[in-house]
Structures are given as structure tokens and as C-alpha cells.
């Protein structure tokens, strides 16, 4: 009886973990009963030119703790958790603009473009990004930390099905 109970706990725990997210060919997938949700997080990220750094050879861009792949996993994890796929059917490209200060903290967050009836979706997306707690290594110019700005392209595809 104990073996059967352990087998059931393992089986249900394993299958539930598989449904949360899968990584295939650069796309993140998440499924619910009605919607199939895909987010393509484009790499490399776009870095705005830092006006205070005149020497491009001495500029080092900001890095997320664990690298870009780690940031993508964290971002998708929180998008999956906090953007309700039952309410929003999102198709299209959005840009995430993040300001990173000299200490490596995200100080500004803006999502574009603004489209009709997107306030709730953009609010949830902003909340999801704000839940990421790991720090960034700040950009540096001549080995001195500087404020910087990053733009990340997110392509959303939602397919709805009748159950």
C-alpha cells in the first residue's frame, strides 16, 4: 500500500510539472484548458547607447545573474503565473523597456505599444516582470558602473480552442 501511495505521489507531481512550461526551439509554452499560450523572447536584447560613455570599446553591457537564458526562464515563469491566459488573448509583439541603475536594480519599466483595451494585460505583464528578484550586474564604462536601458522584444501567440 505504501508503494502504491508513493507511486501516485510521484506520478501526479511529475505530470503537473510537465504542464507548466516546456522549452522548444526558443519558444516557451504554457497550456490551460482553453488556451495555448506561447511567448517568444527574442535574443539578443537591445541595449540603448549610454550617452555618458564615449568609448564604445570600454562599454560592458548589463548582465542578468545567470545570463540571458536565466532571465528568459524567470520572465516566462512569472508571465505564466501572473498573466491570465483565460482573460487575455494576446497576439503580437510588445517591447519591454527596462532601466537598470548603477547598483544593478531595475528602476524603470515600460511596456509598448499601447493598444486598445490592453490596460489589464499590460498591468499584469508589468507585475510579472516586477516579481523577478535577481539583480543585474550594471553596465560599465571604463570599469565604472553606469545607468543603462534595455529593450526586450516579446512576441505573444495565443490559440483558443473549444473544450
Higher pLDDT, residue 90 or 154: 154
Whether the model clears a pTM of 0.75, i.e. scores above it, the answer is: no
pLDDT tens profile 89-126: 788 899 999 999 999 999 999 988 887 878 888 889 89
Tell me, yes or no, whether 17 lies in a domain.
no
Tell me, yes or no, whether 9 lies in a domain.
no
Confidence grade of residue 5 (pLDDT, cut at 50, 70, 90): very low
d(CA 95, CA 145): 25
Asked if 21 and 28 touch (Cβ cutoff 8 Å), the reply is yes
Tell me, yes or no, whether 19 lies in a domain.
no
* Range of the structural domain that residue 78 is part of: 35-160
pLDDT tens profile 15-30: 444 333 444 444 455 5
Tell me, yes or no, whether 147 lies in a domain.
yes
Tell me, yes or no, whether 150 lies in a domain.
yes
**Per the structure, how many domains does the chain have?**
1
Tell me, yes or no, whether 40 lies in a domain.
yes
Tell me, yes or no, whether 29 lies in a domain.
no
Rounded to whole angstroms, what are the CA distances from 70 to 12, 51, 77, 95, 134? Answer: 27, 28, 11, 19, 10
Tell me, yes or no, whether 26 lies in a domain.
no
Query: How many helices (H) and strands (E) are present in the chain, helices listed first?
Result: 3, 12
Amino acid at each position: 500500500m505504501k508503494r502504491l501511495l508513493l507511486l501516485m505521489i510521484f506520478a501526479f507531481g511529475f505530470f503537473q510539472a510537465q504542464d507548466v512550461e516546456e522549452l522548444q526551439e526558443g519558444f516557451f509554452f504554457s497550456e490551460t484548458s482553453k488556451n495555448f499560450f506561447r511567448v517568444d523572447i527574442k535574443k539578443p536584447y537591445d541595449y540603448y547607447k549610454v550617452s555618458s560613455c564615449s568609448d564604445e570599446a570600454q562599454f560592458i553591457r548589463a548582465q542578468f545573474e545567470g545570463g540571458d537564458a536565466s532571465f528568459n526562464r524567470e520572465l516566462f515563469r512569472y508571465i505564466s503565473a501572473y498573466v491570465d491566459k483565460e482573460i487575455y488573448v494576446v497576439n503580437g509583439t510588445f517591447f519591454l523597456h527596462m532601466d537598470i541603475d548603477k547598483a544593478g536594480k531595475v528602476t524603470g519599466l515600460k511596456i509598448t505599444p499601447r493598444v486598445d483595451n490592453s490596460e489589464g494585460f499590460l498591468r499584469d505583464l508589468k507585475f510579472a516582470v516586477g516579481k523577478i528578484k535577481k539583480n543585474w550586474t550594471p553596465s560599465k564604462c571604463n570599469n565604472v558602473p553606469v545607468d543603462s536601458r534595455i529593450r526586450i522584444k516579446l512576441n505573444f501567440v495565443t490559440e483558443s480552442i473549444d473544450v
